[in-house]
Amino acid sequence: MQVRLAPGDDELFRKAADEQRESLSEFLVESGRERAERVLADRTHFVLSAQDWDAFVAALDEPGVPRPELVELFRRPRPE
């Protein structure tokens, strides 16, 4: 992988990597991994209070209500 960096960013990353006694690659990979995990966690993990959890589970247990516009949409043939 190749990355283009502004000179200031390059210097910043190199100083931080040196401070951590890591190679630049190790520093950038670990930093990228941490950010990727945070970004994805916001989309896959959420925390609810006990009361909110009960309401969430109750809503999931409710039977679905057909929506005519969605029924129509799914009856249409797939575009080629």
At 21-69, the pLDDT tens digits run 999 999 999 999 999 999 998 788 788 999 999 999 999 999 989 999 9
The pLDDT tens digits for 5-24 are 999 999 999 999 999 999 99
User: Is 15 a member of any domain?
Assistant: yes
pLDDT at site 57: 95
Q: What is the pTM of this model?
A: 0.54
Higher-pLDDT residue of 24 and 1 is 24
Separation of alpha carbons 17 and 24, rounded Å: 5
Task: Determine phi and psi for 15, rounding to 5 degrees.
Answer: -65, -45
Measured CA distances, 10 to 1, 3, 31, 36, 61 (Å): 15, 10, 14, 20, 52
Q: What total number of domains does the chain contain? A: 1
Residue 1: inside a domain? no
80 is a domain residue: no
